[in-house]
Amino acid sequence: MKGNHYSCLIFLQLLHIISAEMDTIGGNEYIRDGETIISSGEMFELGFFSPGNSKNRYLGIWYYKISQTVVWVANREIPLNNTSGVFKVSSQGSLLLLNGEGRDIWSSNSSVLVGNLHPVAQLLDNGNLVVRNESDIDHLNLIWQSFDHPCDHILPGMKFGKDLVSGRDIALSSWKSLDDPSPVVLRVLNHYTPEEWNIANWSSGCQREKPLDCMNRDGFQKITGVTLPDSRKTWYNVSMSLAECKRECKRNCSCTAYANLDVRNGGSGCLLWFGNLMDIRDFEENQDLYIRIAMTESTGWSKKRKIILVLLTSVGVVLVGLTLAVLYAYKKKNSPRPGNLVQSLVDDYTDGSQNKDVELLSFSLAKIAKYTNHFSVSNKLGEGGFGPVYKGVMEDGREIAVKRLSETSTQGFDEFENEVRFVARLQHRNLVKLFGYCAQGNEIMLIYEYMPNRSLDTFLFDETRHLMLDWPLRFHIIQGISRGLLYLHQDSRLRIIHRDLKASNILLDNDMNPKISDFGLARRFKGYETGAKTKNVVGTYGYISPEYAVHGFFSIKSDVFSFGVLVLEIVSGMKNRGFSHHEHCDNLLGHAWRLYKDDKTLELVSESLRKSCIVSEVLRCVHIGLLCVQNHVEDRPTMSFVVLMFGNEGMLPPPKQPAFFSELEPNSTSSKPGSVSVNEVTITSLDAR
């Protein structure tokens, strides 16, 4: 039965474990993967399965003895990676899917606080999985039902569209592929490829050719003959005209499209979309959709301005090309060959007593190509300033991440040198581990341990995945980062300043343990040195300390500032960069400071954490975060003191007003977006590489 994703079902039938009578489970019962399945007569069954050729496990509902087609999946975006899953009903009425460690990976979020509640889950004959009170046998007051959260199948009894009472939008969304049931997210303007459309792989979605610019510099393109996008993130007004609808969409930078709410009698009302436009298809309809596009793509842009732009762009491209060519020629002439560079770095750290500490393995290009399926696009994890990153699997089954130097990279050798010099010698549970390198011909690659949960920002700032980060897990991540920084600043034999600490550089392993990564901008200091000055300020806007941004001075306290920003982001679930509030013009640091002064710190906490948070820990984290983002270097604690403050419940020193704090009111004149002011000195937005 190998390769058959219904082998679990066949196995259970052979053992006579399936019972058509077992169609409910209660708070004291559970379903374990590989043991039992809920059955609804002869129509549907619920259990664990692996789709297509995937080894991931999902909880789903499928037709029984008819076509064995999966009609609903619970954990569409968060699969189990083994057969240790457990499905149960909580005493408050929530469906829970747990992994082998007992951690929730999916929940129906249907908890209710009422007395005498005895919730049970039942799979009905129409394929609807419901949660009800045991006494509600007529299903008049359901706690939750899967029909309100459909996947890609329509079943009898389902309802679609906007529920004006609950505000819920019910719509279908297709699988990414036969092996992946996660929903497809389609963006504006078709850019399907190399083969994707023909094999029904729509996971890459559509891409914009030009990014939006807002600030009255965007236009709208009229599209006809399509179905309207998914309406989960929409707003409507029944009395607005189409012209008023356009103005309302244009003044809101988050609005991506608009249309008439009612097309009868010439059209009336306004319907606005926010975020990605999902599920747009060709269809013979007489309703028009107006999609927001960059002004440079708008049909109303004047030919004269286009000509000027083309000329300016051409001149700019030529100048940039010449500059890059000169820099490349100079760098190639003065940089050592990859093999020689690696050998010199390895020799530098394998002499004398240090020999036992270095376990830097050398991999051949042929082996790395084999591990990554010849650098297959399907194995690509992302791309940074160094170059693309690929997932690979070694002969012994270990998963690795391979950073491959791009031919167009101008900082690749510097980053490579830093990674080899620092990461190879730094061993700590909260730092990413470097396995080795590949240097063959002009190919330069770094091989790291693979982090299955990617980076912290993919959870923290995602509308869905942030729900997986309850307060105990966020507090665990904060403490892990602090211990990793303490090791870099004090406990390792090198004193390292990271200089680019941010959410995207915190990787999460299989158990969601945080690991600091990307040492491309790091600097090493001797024991007696505490800081240095540079003319080349690098880093990421929103995390850079004021003394570094304005004067180019960096020290271990620069990392402390970045850590403080990160703590406030983890607590609030909001980015410091781009933060806005209707009552003031402050960034996230200023907003946290206002709440702290008004004794309203808990209002900073993400809504999804209100039930799981421990108030004393939250208040302490925000307090420590504010201490770390003080304007003056001497007011910030060291990481050793930060770790000490996290580890006890003693009194904390009061924080002062944080850096980059503005007391401008919403109607006051403020500096332009993308710039900050410190001591009347203004800097522009900075991003690493």
Instruction: Point out the residues that are catalytic.
Output: 500
Q: 329 by DSSP, 3-state: which?
A: helix
Alpha-carbon distance of 677 to 671, in angstroms, equals 8
Closest to 230 (Cα-Cα) out of 265, 191, 257, 194: 257
DSSP class of residue 504? G
Residue 178 region, left (φ>0) first, then alpha (ψ -120 to 50), else beta? alpha
Alpha-carbon distance of 368 to 370, in angstroms, equals 5
Q: Give residue 24's Cα distance to chain centre.
A: 36
Query: Element (H or E) spanning 640, and its range?
Result: helix 639-647
Q: In the numeric block, which tokens belong to residue 333?
A: 């002439």
Alpha-carbon distance of 106 to 171, in angstroms, equals 20
> Count of residues for the chain?
689
DSSP class of residue 582? T
Query: Element (H or E) spanning 625, and its range?
Result: helix 615-628
Angle at 308 between CA 307 and CA 309, to 5 degrees: 90
Closest to 587 (Cα-Cα) out of 479, 455, 685: 685
Radius of gyration of the chain from its Cα atoms, rounded to whole angstroms: 28
* Amino acid letter, residue 282: D
Q: What are phi and psi of 213, to 5 degrees?
A: -120, -15
Alpha-carbon distance of 480 to 143, in angstroms, equals 38
Contact 174, 152 (CB under 8 A): yes
DSSP class of residue 66? S
Q: How far is CA 451 from CA 144, 432, 514, in A?
A: 35, 9, 10
Alpha-carbon distance of 486 to 476, in angstroms, equals 15
- Give residues with Cβ within 8 angstroms of 352, minimum separation 6: none
